[in-house]
């Protein structure tokens, strides 16, 4: 019996990268995983097959999480199909390329740049949380895990708009944790460091990777799989007395 047998888990933006690794780990523990994706149906179906192969059950569902209508329709479908929702991992974000040499400097940014990232991180999470709250309140249980970034603690490269949005998401998480605690719903964050290889990190220069490795006590860069364990921990009853927390998963870098 897996740790998440009989549990229904939604992972947004899980057709690739960190989201896909998280979906797979939940499946290994027996969960029914909802693989949410925006565009790439082929990639999503591949993850669904992989989830089934490792012993879970899975289902791909397309939805733009920055659209309130799309989110509500997705959650309705999940409840119709599965009858419940135990865990939500808000992993989807607006595409961003981590390239220190091509990033916009503070004086080049428009408010629209910030708004785009805030919509991608906070607006999408807000829509998902609003849609799942009635279900989790009815169950008197639920765990929400929001994926942020260790840059909120140490902006080694000032990716202004991305990092401002992720910092806002940390604040959103803490406020939500206070409000939802009495209903048995927990809300936490996982803050990865640089994760390689992913689409977002493929432009990261070797010299920056080496700098990060040299300042990381565990002397390597995270793989997508490294992020999954802490997410599963915060989603399980092993962490039932934790809420409003941020777990930094970066090999000790920000320490």
Q: What is the extent of the structural domain holding 179? A: 8-249
Q: Please identify which of the residues 114, 162, 172, 196 carries the catalytic annotation.
A: 162
Residue 149 is assigned to a structural domain of this protein: yes
Residue 117 is assigned to a structural domain of this protein: yes
Report if pTM > 0.85. Answer: yes
Active site residue 162: yes
Task: Give tens-digit pLDDT for 60-79.
Answer: 999 999 999 999 999 999 99
Q: Report the CATH number that the domain containing residue 54 is assigned in CATH.
A: 3.40.50.720
Q: Of the ranges 70-79, 148-157, 200-209, which one carries the lowest mean pLDDT score?
A: 200-209
Residue 98: its pLDDT value, please? 86
Q: What's the chain's average pLDDT?
A: 95
Residue 1 is assigned to a structural domain of this protein: no
Residue 255 is assigned to a structural domain of this protein: no
How many domains does the structure of the chain reveal? Answer: 1
Three-class HEC string of the chain? CCCCCCCEEEECCCCCHHHHHHHHHHHHCCCEEEEEECCCHHHHHHHHHHHHHCCCEEEEEECCCCCHHHHHHHHHHHHHHHCCCCEEEECCCCCCCCCCCCCCCHHHCCHHHHHHHHHHHHHHHHHHHHHHHHHHHHHCCEEEEEECCHHHCCCCCCCHHHHHHHHHHHHHHHHHHHHHHHHCEEEEEEEECCECCCCCCCCCCHHHHHHHHHCCCCCCCECHHHHHHHHHHHHCHHHCCCCCCEEEECCCCCC
Residue 87 has pLDDT above 80, yes or no: yes
Task: Give tens-digit pLDDT for 31-47.
Answer: 999 999 999 999 999 99
Task: Give tens-digit pLDDT for 163-201.
Answer: 999 999 999 999 999 999 999 999 999 999 999 877 777
Residue 202: its pLDDT value, please? 75
């Amino acid at each position: 019996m897996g740790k998440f047998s009989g549990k229904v888990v939604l992972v947004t933006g899980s057709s690739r990268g960190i989201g896909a690794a998280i979906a797979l780990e939940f499946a290994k523990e027996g969960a029914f995983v909802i693989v949410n994706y925006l565009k790439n149906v082929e990639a999503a179906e591949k993850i669904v097959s992989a989830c089934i192969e490792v012993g879970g059950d899975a289902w791909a569902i397309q939805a733009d999480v920055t659209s309130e209508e799309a989110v509500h329709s997705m959650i309705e479908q999940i409840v119709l199909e599965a009858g419940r929702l135990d865990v939500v991992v808000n992993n989807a974000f607006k595409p961003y390329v981590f390239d220190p040499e091509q990033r916009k400097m503070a004086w080049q940014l428009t408010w629209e740049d910030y708004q785009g990232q805030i919509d991608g991180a906070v607006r999408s999470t807000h829509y998902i949380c609003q849609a799942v709250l009635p279900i989790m309140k009815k169950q008197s249980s639920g765990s929400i895990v929001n994926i942020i970034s260790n840059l909120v603690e140490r902006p080694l490269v000032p990716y202004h708009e991305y990092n401002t949005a992720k910092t806002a998401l940390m604040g959103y998480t803490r406020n939500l944790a206070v409000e939802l605690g009495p209903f048995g719903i927990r809300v936490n964050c996982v803050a990865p460091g640089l994760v390689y290889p992913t689409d977002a990190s493929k432009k990261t220069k070797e010299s920056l990777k080496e700098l990060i490795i040299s300042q990381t006590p565990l002397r390597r860069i995270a793989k997508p799989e490294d992020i999954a364990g802490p997410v599963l921990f915060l989603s399980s009853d092993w962490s039932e007395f934790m809420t409003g927390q941020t777990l930094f998963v970066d090999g000790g870098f920000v320490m």
